[in-house]
Amino acid sequence: MGEWVATATHRQARTFLPPADFCPLCPTKPGGFPTEIPEATYDIVAFENRFPSLTPEPPAPAVEASELYPVRPGQGVCEVIVYSPNHNSTLAQEPVEQIHQLVQVWTDRFRALQSAEFAKYIFIFENKGEAIGVTLHHPHGQIYAYPFVPPRILTELEQTRAHMDATGRCLLCDILAEERRGRGERIVAENDSFAAYIPFFARYPYEVHISSTRHLQALTDLNETEGRDLAAMLKTVLAAYDKLFNLSFPYMMVLHQRPTDGGDYGYYHFHIEFYPPLRTATKLKYLAGSETGAGMFINDTLAEDKAAELRALVVPVVWEKGGAL
Amino acid sequence: MQHRRITLEDGRYLVFYTFDEETAAAASSNSNETIGAEELTARRAEPDAEPQATEEPGRV
């Protein structure tokens, strides 16, 4: 059907919700349980996933291709990024300085992974909460280096390129301008470099997008101020999420950047998207028949209403060293 | 930002990132790590070529 599916049967055996004393992402304490991370402490760690969906040197496909069913080795990289040595923390609970450090690590991993010849797209993401299906509670995210540009990104690329061809303008820049126009009813928060909003076309009730004000394509384009502003905006949104229902808010967080296949993607615009599964404190937004079978999302809410809820929960981000943003 | 890369006993890499006030501002330009297909191939073929973690790598 024009899309690749990775089969990784070894992942059935991966660690599933271990007790805190046996968390594989905690530091290895002297005399203690040997975790994935062989040191007693760390700031942030990146490592290759023990149960990867894609590997730099994949085995030959387990089945043979046919004319109808092409197969290819699952080449790529799957990294785990551990945000903090504190098992009980979350990204929302981390100080903004730590989130700024994470932004720098993301940038460094993007730069390192894009140098692999086979890496055509670097996908940085976090699945948070059992509602999303996480298997480890320790605060962490992941990075996949795909050997092709994945389909959702392809759709965004096609739409942004078509808009550029038709108008001479960036689609995301136009969306941001539209969101800021008038009363900004869908805006959740803004700072000098980023805006957070629930887009007009949100598929999930609390689907926040964070877009850079400046037209840039990837984390590697951020200057120092923009890196700090991105950390502050992430802290702002994540803190508002946690206050919404007074619980640690589950979400998928994905970074959308330009591909790394050497093409010219000057028309594309870096942004971050959150897909929270909750529509109320106790009810999930299920991807049911229409969403899964037809790709047609049905949102039971209005973006303007949900943005107002989150906007009311926004508080200034305080930097311990260097003022507030 | 500074980083230190080690190779675990099963051949996977692990990168420690550390920060302090002096190096944080220069973080985005400090990396000299590249991951090329050749480098990954060499590492897989000869896992002892890079520093080894002395601890048991544990499990996920």
Which chain B residues touch A15 with a CB distance below 8 Å?
59-60
Q: Are B16 and A42 a contacting pair at CB < 8 A?
A: yes
Of residues A100, A137, A140, A271, which has the active-site annotation?
A: A140
Residue B38 phi, psi (nearest 5): -65, -45
* Known catalytic residue at A100: no
Per-residue model confidence as pLDDT tens digits over A70-86: 999 899 999 999 999 99
Question: What token pair was written down for A192?
Answer: 């000098």
CB A278 within 8 A of CB A151: no
Q: Which helix (H) or strand (E) holds A125?
A: strand A121-128
Classified by CATH at the fold level, domain A15-60+70-324 comes out as HIT family, subunit A (3.30.428)
pLDDT of residue A313: 98
pLDDT of residue B44 exceeding 50, the answer is no
What is the domain partition of chain B in residue ranges?
2-49
Once rounded to an integer, what is the mean pLDDT over residues A139-149? 97
Q: Are B16 and A77 a contacting pair at CB < 8 A?
A: no
What is the domain partition of chain A in residue ranges?
15-60+70-324
What is the nearest CA distance from B43 to chain A, expressed in angstroms?
10
Q: Are A101 and B1 a contacting pair at CB < 8 A?
A: yes
What is the nearest CA distance from A223 to chain B, expressed in angstroms?
8
Question: What is the gyration radius of the CA atoms in chain A, in angstroms?
Answer: 20
Closest CA to B40 of B2, B16, B5, B1: B5
**Judging by DSSP bridges, how do beta strands A194-197 and A209-212 pair with one another?**
antiparallel
Prediction pTM value: 0.88
CB A53 within 8 A of CB A144: yes
pLDDT of residue A210 exceeding 60, the answer is yes
**Res. A32 pLDDT band, cuts 50 70 90:** confident
ipTM: 0.91
